[in-house]
């Protein structure tokens, strides 16, 4: 048992965080919005250059062969930066789906993206900029080129979330697999949770910086206890969502993954609300970056399953499975312990 | 990251489980705060634990411990709570002072105090708070005056848990004329020493859980000081780190309570409002999150890391979790929630939930009030201005 990130994992997280800190500032986000483009070509090129789309693709297919923990760290960094490009769903959901279906990754590692229409989500994100879409017909998985479907854009509160209703028709030629949607759900949920955790931390950090500068009554507002306590309370939520997320990524347990989503959503909600409050009217304005985080949190908190959906998944386990202090990890092996000790 | 127990850890769990199954008293002991008998029954249990080598598993073997790492400590605690073993009457000693003694004590002090602590022969109380020094602990006024090889202690301590029956206490004392964090020393004194008067104080449920200590020229040898003279503050903060951060509240305590809460809910789900179900699930998830977080901290400390601001985040989280667990139980019990265990119509476990709730109200106050912990998080973890 060793619940620590490895040095390589830590370095990966820092490297992605650093790259995004340089390329994805609030000013960069605003510039992208004004351009009307769906992605910043230079930033995306850098992301692809680092091989991030292939994080979870096997090395034999030209990927990095890394796991859900590494992808969760990358997704956390993307959440922290409020990254507009569809790296997380592409690398964390679409590519593992293609790999599981035994399909060719094509150009998916070299810049082209694939959008995912998981049945749990009513709309497909970033479908317009994708080269292809993975879509569900009951349990079956279909892969369609972008120009084989028609899209109706749905405006989201998050200006960077390009949502679409997809009109399409399944056929034998487009079908590439079946029985793969459950695993895709767990990936989608886990990496949404990771983004929520990252954006929660960003909301606290932005607020700490602002509260240390902004003066009222002759001192920084951050010296006032009411302000401190808003942010300390949010930080406690972040601290206790993080180990759940990492354990969920490491164990791939659906119950923990749902727990991680609930905890990260609560942390993001607390942190973004505190951020609006701590920034005062600035927090309610377009000028500071807080609203980008607030909007992303609103969207991701309901995407990939609402809190109610995830509570039901946790409830199914909690209200029927045997529980206890000895069951935090490795439930199977515990049975052996029981018979040994009996 | 490897979230699997090693075979050796699994074997350790089986060993603990077997020993506890053979030794945990079949009937619960009388509580250790209400009567001397209850206290002594718990002392006997500490002795039994010690004879089995389970007094304090993380301590070095020569001081009555087992020399085990923190993951094994967590496993031990999981099995301990799972087995329903008695609460530890010597927790101020073994969980708080003990680790500090191991870090700062001289070899003579360790040899003198640790084995007797591990065996339950000497049960400890913590004498930090004073009537004028609660949250502002650096405001203590009790003094230690050097007189040759002795200190002469004088002053008034308060809220000292378990001091009514305990044998020894550790407290913060200042050199006369010193101010705030300077000139403080951490000194041990026997509670039956000449000049010590112990006055029990009843908790809000009427039990004499804590005490006031009046110290009138109490003489103790200078060798009863832990750490350097005048350095008591940093030594005491190390103890506070253990108290808030790790040892005082192991996750198993809350995981077992959460499992009981779920069982209570399963048994009575029909009459319960839907929102209560969400609270039950949340409490269970929070207990799980607390366990994961402590495992992560333990892994980090075992790899040579130092305990940091997580002491304050943990303190807030476990105390609020404890409150939520019990408040939710009372919500399930509805009109029966006000029944004490003595009520003829009280079902077996009802009184325990009420007692637990009353105790959980204290969590956000002791071990450093949560408001103070939030200040610490804001200033030391987030770097906000003072
Ligand atoms: C069950 C129980 C057991 C205890 N056991 C022991 C023991 O064994 N040994 C021991 O030494 N002590 C013990 N204590 C005492 C405990 O450590 C103190 O109660 C605690 O430190 C708070 O101090 P106080 O009670 O004087 O409250 P105060 O310091 O008077 O605080 C009262 C309220 O004001 C708030 N407050 C104070 N200062 C600030 C500030 N700067 N900013 C914001 N809010 C503030 C506090 O958070 C609290 O809500 C125990 C207490 C309890 C309830």
Interface test with B, best of A215, A217, A231, A232 (most B CBs within 10 A): A232
SS3 B126: strand
pLDDT band at A336 (very low <50, low <70, confident <90, very high): low
Is residue A275 predicted with pLDDT exceeding 70? yes
**Would you state the pLDDT for residue A103?**
96
pLDDT digit string (tens) for A56-86? 999 999 999 999 999 999 999 999 999 999 9
SS3 B4: coil
Q: Whose CA is nearest to atom 5 of ligand 1?
A: B161
Is residue A340 predicted with pLDDT exceeding 80? no
Pocket probe for ligand 1: among B87, B96, B159, B320, the residue whose CB has the most ligand atoms within 8 Å is B159
SS3 B239: helix
| Subunit contact A241:B18, Cβ cutoff 8 A | no
pLDDT digit string (tens) for A232-259? 999 999 999 999 999 999 999 999 999 9
Does the C-beta of B161 come closer than 6 Å to ligand 1? yes
Q: Give the distance from residue A95's alpha carbon to the nearest chain B alpha carbon, in angstroms.
A: 24
pLDDT band at A334 (very low <50, low <70, confident <90, very high): very low
**Mean pLDDT score, A192-214:** 98
Least confident of A95-99, A204-208, B32-36: B32-36
List, as ranges, residues 82-121 from A with C-beta within 8 Å of B. Answer: none
Based on the residue annotation, tell me whether B243 is a catalytic residue of this protein.
Answer: yes
Nearest CB to B4 within list A6, A325, A329: A329
Q: Would strands B124-127 and B168-174 be described as parallel, antiparallel, or unpaired? A: parallel
Q: Which two tokens stand for residue B210?
A: 């804590």
Distance CA(B37)–CA(B30), nearest Å, equals 8
**Would you state the pLDDT for residue B248?**
79
Question: In order along chain B (386 residues), what is the average pLDDT of each group of 10 residues?
Answer: 95 97 95 94 97 93 93 96 96 92 94 95 97 96 97 98 97 96 97 98 92 98 97 87 76 96 93 92 98 95 86 95 97 91 84 92 95 97 96
**Would you state the pLDDT for residue A283?**
96
Is residue A52 predicted with pLDDT exceeding 70? yes
Distance CA(A239)–CA(B143), nearest Å, equals 40
Does the C-beta of B170 come closer than 6 Å to ligand 1? no
Distance CA(B79)–CA(B77), nearest Å, equals 5
Cα of B133 vs centre of ligand 1, distance in Å, is 9
Burial (CB count <10 Å: 0-12, 13-18, 19+), residue B63: buried
Question: What average pLDDT does chain A have?
Answer: 95
Model pTM above 0.90? yes
Q: Does A335 touch chain B (CB under 8 A)?
A: no
| Subunit contact A243:B293, Cβ cutoff 8 A | yes
**Would you state the pLDDT for residue A332?**
43
| Subunit contact A326:B13, Cβ cutoff 8 A | yes
Q: Does A236 touch chain B (CB under 8 A)?
A: yes
**Would you state the pLDDT for residue A342?**
52
pLDDT digit string (tens) for B255-300? 999 999 999 999 998 889 889 999 999 999 999 999 999 999 999 9
**Mean pLDDT score, A169-185:** 97
ipTM metric: 0.94
Which residue is it, tokens 């990254």?
Answer: A83
**Would you state the pLDDT for residue A249?**
98
Is residue A218 predicted with pLDDT exceeding 50? yes
Cα of B369 vs centre of ligand 1, distance in Å, is 5
Work out the angle between the directed axes of helices B274-302 and B70-82 (0-180°, nearest 10).
150
Taking Cα atoms as reference points, which of A328, A173, A154, A201 lies closest to residue A253?
A328
Taking Cα atoms as reference points, which of B31, B34, B57 lies closest to residue B45?
B31
Q: What share of chain A is helix, strand, coil (3-state, %, to 5)?
A: 60, 10, 30
């Amino acid at each position: 048992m060793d619940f620590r990130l490895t040095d390589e994992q830590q370095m990966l997280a820092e490297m992605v965080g650093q790259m995004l800190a340089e390329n994805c500032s609030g000013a960069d986000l605003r510039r992208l919005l004004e351009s009307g483009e769906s992605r910043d070509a230079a930033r995306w090129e850098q992301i692809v250059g680092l091989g991030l789309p292939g994080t979870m693709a096997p090395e034999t297919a030209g990927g990095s062969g890394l796991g859900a923990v590494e992808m969760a760290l990358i997704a956390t960094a993307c959440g922290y930066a409020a990254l507009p490009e569809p790296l997380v769903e592409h690398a964390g959901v679409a590519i593992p789906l293609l790999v599981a279906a035994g399909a060719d990754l094509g150009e998916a590692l070299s810049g082209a993206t694939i959008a995912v229409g998981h049945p749990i989500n009513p709309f497909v994100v970033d479908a317009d900029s994708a080269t292809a879409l993975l879509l569900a017909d009951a349990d079956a998985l279909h892969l369609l080129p972008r120009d084989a479907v028609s899209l109706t854009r749905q405006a989201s509160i998050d200006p960077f979330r390009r949502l679409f209703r997809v009109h399409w028709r399944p056929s034998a030629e487009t079908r590439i697999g079946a029985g793969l949607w459950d695993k895709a759900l767990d990936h989608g949920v886990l990496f949404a949770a990771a983004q929520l955790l990252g954006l929660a931390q960003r909301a606290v950090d932005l607020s700490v910086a602002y509260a240390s500068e902004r003066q009222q009554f002759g001192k920084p507002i951050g010296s006032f206890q009411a302000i401190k306590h808003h942010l300390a309370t949010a930080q406690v939520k972040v601290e206790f969502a993080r180990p759940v997320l990492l354990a969920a990524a490491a164990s791939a347990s659906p119950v923990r993954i749902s727990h991680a989503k609930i905890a990260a959503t609560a942390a993001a909600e607390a942190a973004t609300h505190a951020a609006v409050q701590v920034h005062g009217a600035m927090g309610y304005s377009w000028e500071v970056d807080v609203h980008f985080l607030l909007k992303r949190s609103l969207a991701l908190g309901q995407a990939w399953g609402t809190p109610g959906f995830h509570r039901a998944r946790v409830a199914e386990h909690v209200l029927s499975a045997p529980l206890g202090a000895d069951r935090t990890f490795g439930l199977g092996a515990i049975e052996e312990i029981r018979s040994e000790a009996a | 990251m490897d979230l699997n127990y090693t075979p050796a850890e699994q074997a350790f769990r089986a060993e603990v489980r077997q020993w506890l199954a053979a030794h945990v008293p079949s009937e619960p002991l009388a509580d250790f705060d209400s009567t001397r008998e209850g206290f002594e029954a718990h002392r006997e249990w500490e002795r039994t634990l010690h004879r089995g080598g389970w007094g304090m598993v993380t301590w070095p073997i020569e001081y009555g411990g087992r020399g085990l790492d923190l993951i094994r400590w967590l496993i031990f605690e999981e099995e301990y709570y799972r087995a329903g073993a008695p609460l530890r009457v010597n927790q101020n000693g073994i969980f708080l002072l003990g680790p500090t003694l191991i870090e700062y004590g001289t070899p003579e002090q360790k040899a003198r105090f640790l084995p007797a602590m591990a065996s339950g022969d000497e049960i400890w109380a913590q004498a930090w708070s004073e009537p004028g020094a609660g949250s502002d602990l650096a405001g203590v006024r009790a003094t230690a005056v050097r007189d040759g090889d002795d200190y002469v202690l004088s002053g008034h301590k308060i809220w000292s848990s378990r001091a009514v029956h305990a044998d020894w206490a550790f407290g913060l004392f200042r050199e006369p004329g010193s101010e705030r964090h300077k000139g403080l020393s951490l000194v041990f004194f026997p509670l039956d020493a000449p000049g010590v008067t112990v006055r029990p104080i009843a908790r809000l449920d009427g039990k004499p859980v804590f005490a006031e200590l009046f110290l009138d020229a109490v003489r103790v040898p200078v060798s009863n000081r832990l750490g350097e003279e005048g350095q008591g503050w940093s030594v005491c903060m190390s103890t506070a780190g253990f108290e808030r951060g790790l040892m005082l509240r192991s996750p198993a305590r809350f995981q077992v309570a959460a499992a009981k809460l779920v069982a209570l809910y399963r048994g009575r789900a029909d009459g319960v409002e839907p929102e209560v179900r969400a609270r039950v699930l949340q409490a269970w998830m929070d207990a799980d999150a607390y366990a994961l977080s402590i495992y992560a901290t333990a892994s980090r400390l075992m790899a040579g890391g130092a305990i940091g601001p997580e002491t304050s985040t943990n303190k807030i989280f476990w105390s609020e979790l404890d409150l939520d667990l019990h408040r939710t139980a009372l919500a399930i019990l509805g009109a029966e929630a006000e029944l004490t265990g003595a009520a003829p119509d009280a079902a077996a476990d009802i009184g325990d939930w009420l007692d637990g709730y009353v105790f959980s109200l204290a969590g956000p106050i002791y071990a450093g009030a949560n408001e103070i912990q939030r200040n610490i998080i804001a200033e030391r973890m987030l770097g906000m201005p003072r």
